[in-house]
Structure 1
Amino acid sequence: MKPFILVLFLLGSVLLSPAQTKAISSIPIPCSLVLKLVNHSYTNGMGVALVYKVKLTPSFPRTSISIHALHLPAPSSLGDYDRFEGFAFIPDEINWRFKLYPSPEEDAPTWAGRFDSITAELENVHIQVRLSNSKTEKLGPVILTNHINYCK
């Protein structure tokens, strides 16, 4: 009986060890992710996403994604759009959409925004900056993008 208990203990410690648990988890949080241009004709465009846990209420922590995007073309120069939005999604499961607000710089403002209420595990998440029309709520094409696996 003692060898059986020893085997169970060893098996349990290997399967449930902290190192194993960490290896199974999706990404290390906090982390940041460079968002890259889809269309390279907008030469200077670039962005970054910051992903981290926030505790804004007494309930359990949520995940926050914030985006900071620079040197993007004016939304109206790319069609019937008047702003940019942050868009993060797990394919065929869920998506999060949030407004990016321009800074007061006249020539190529910085666009920034955040979403603080994510409860899902961030596995296979794509993070993007997309064009948007505020009147029709139509989401346009992707301008900047990257996959959460590149978050460091």
Structure 2
Amino acid sequence: MFAMRLSARVDYALRACLALTEAGDVWTSAERVATAQQIPAKFCESILLQLRRGGIVESRRGPDGGHRLAGDPHGISLADVIRVVDGPLVGVRGQRPEHVDYTGAAATLQDVWIALRANERKILESVSLHDVATSNLPEGVARLTADPSAWT
């Protein structure tokens, strides 16, 4: 069985971006983001810096400074944030699925990993920060969460 694991860094990065989505165009301090989302302050600062370097967040110094999203939250997908923080969506032992080489009975595992990545990408690229912040998930994603077996 496949167990999807998101790092604490990805979880915090998504939550920080959602706090900035909620703030709109208001410059928001790292401290306020950390407090709002219960993220350790130093970790939050590090994540915001990484998100700035990745083009997701913009920052401004000074008394009226802080952080805000660099683009429209409708156009920033969860996949965009995850890629900035953790790199490719699905990896096998640190490699992209298409670069893993299996032999014999395991050869078709590569196809499974590629299919898994395609499905994960389809979901994560279809959900924007705005969708999550407004509790308005795309219909296909909402339908998946309505299936009781999805929760076990």
TM class by shorter chain equals under 0.3
TM-score, scaled relative to structure 2: 0.21
Q: Which has the higher helix share?
A: 2
Please tell me whether Structure 1 or Structure 2 has the larger radius of gyration of its CA atoms: 1
- Flag the structure with higher strand content: 1
TM-score (norm 1): 0.21
